[in-house]
Amino acid sequence: MKRLLVLILLLNFSFVKAQNQEVLSSDRPGQALSSSVVGNHVFQIQTGIDFSNENSNFLPSSYFRYGLSERFEINSGFIFSGSNFAENLSSLSIGARYLVSNSNNKMQSSFQFSYDVKAEENSGQLVYILGNSFNEKLSYTANLGINFTDNLSLANTFYVFNITYSINNKIGLFAENFGTLFSSNYQFNYDTGVYYLLNNNFQLDAVIGDNDGFFIGAGFTWRVQPKNNY
């Protein structure tokens, strides 16, 4: 663990400073993680609430991201569950995301590692994220990940494939398929939704789909940039 922390610090201090991207890049709405990182000294909160029809559960959640450089961010999130609002804390994760490719490239790839201190199983997660654009309006994001337990045994593997269409520079639609891989309990789930950029630093979103039961959700993303970037 100490060697891993030293490696992360060395990578962090070796990055070249660049300008943060003009418009925020959010993991909301949907299941796919964005291949982008938030940017140097940028703080971003992604929050919302889902409702699952299968067990009548409300699932409020928030995810916090902070950029230590243009290629490296730390993040943390929580999810509540229960038929009553915010009844049980079911997930509390800490993690980091590292951008492998250049932030100006059309195709971007990154790795996200997280550890859930509240989960009874599947407490660790490693995800490879790939994002690319077919053209100015149509893009895709693919996630391929593994969940593992505290003793580093493999729990399962999973995927997400997201297609996003930008109607204009403020409104976009998406559809995605997600589930598990290489498992007898193979899952095939889907959702679709919309996002609306009020400005470059604030986004509203809504989603509807099926994940072992019908669910709907809505939320927002808010980005706070360093003063010298405004």
Classify the C-alpha dihedral 41-33-63-98 as positive or negative. negative
Please give the model's pTM, rounded to 2 decimal places: 0.85
Cis peptide before 29 (omega within 30 of 0): yes
User: In the chain, at which residue ranges do the beta strands (DSSP E only) sit?
Assistant: 43-52, 57-67, 72-81, 88-99, 108-116, 124-133, 138-148, 154-166, 171-181, 189-199, 202-210, 214-224
Q: Which helix (H) or strand (E) holds 6?
A: helix 2-13
Please tell me the predicted confidence (pLDDT) of residue 213. Answer: 86
CA distance 134 to 107: 10
Residues of the chain falling short of pLDDT 70: 1-20, 85-86, 103-105, 120-122, 183-186, 229-230
Q: What is the pLDDT of residue 11?
A: 40
Two structure tokens written together for 200: 């470059």
